[in-house]
Amino acid sequence: MAPLRISFLIRSVYILLPSNANLIHTAKGETTLLNTNALIFTTEGGAKSWHGRPVRTTNQIKCLLDGFDDWDVSADLPEWDSHPSKFKETRLRPDIVIHSAATQQLIMVELTVPYQNRMEEAHMYKREKYMNLIKELENTGYKAVVMPVEVGARGFVGSSVYDLLTKLSTGGNKRTKALKLLTEIAENSSRWIWSRRNKRFLHKD
């Protein structure tokens, strides 16, 4: 791992980057702890929560895709297929929708990239945001579930991501690789933004 990357990661985790907010906190003697829903990886490739307790194993979680083979995936991106027509009647646009037309089932995935100490807050906010939509879908014969997931801005993946991958039958090495990739993308993005914090960007309309 490059020295600059190590330095950025350590300082960001312990709130030591020289931002105005951090300097004020330091002067007051305040500290910020990581949320206990963040994950770290063991040397064997497994995952544990930040406080050391092991994450639930695959055989403890029922797969959401079991028994059906007509699942379609759509994402709230221009280059992807549009969401099912049911979503045209609402302003809510989940990041990812996994849809089974035959069984009228919907799995909505909502991503948030918060600070680690706000993971629980972000998770609850996204879950509550879609409760009314889930009730409306259920009233029309659909079975819907929302899966909020969090990837911390400093590179720590929320345990909700681990659970989601497991419930979608992504386990073992594939799950470990996906978690590490998400970690690297979040960390690299935050480091890129931080390195350009003093630059002005011009946006064309």
pLDDT tens digits along 121-131: 999 999 999 99
Contact 111, 95 (CB under 8 A): yes
Q: How far apart are CA 15 and CA 25, in angstroms?
A: 9
Q: How far apart are CA 115 and CA 32, in angstroms?
A: 10
Q: What is the pLDDT of residue 46?
A: 54
Least confident segment among 2-6, 63-67, 133-137, 142-146:
2-6
Question: Residue 47: CB partners within 8 Å, gap ≥ 6?
Answer: 39, 40, 41, 55, 162, 176, 179
36-56 average pLDDT score: 50
Contact 138, 165 (CB under 8 A): no
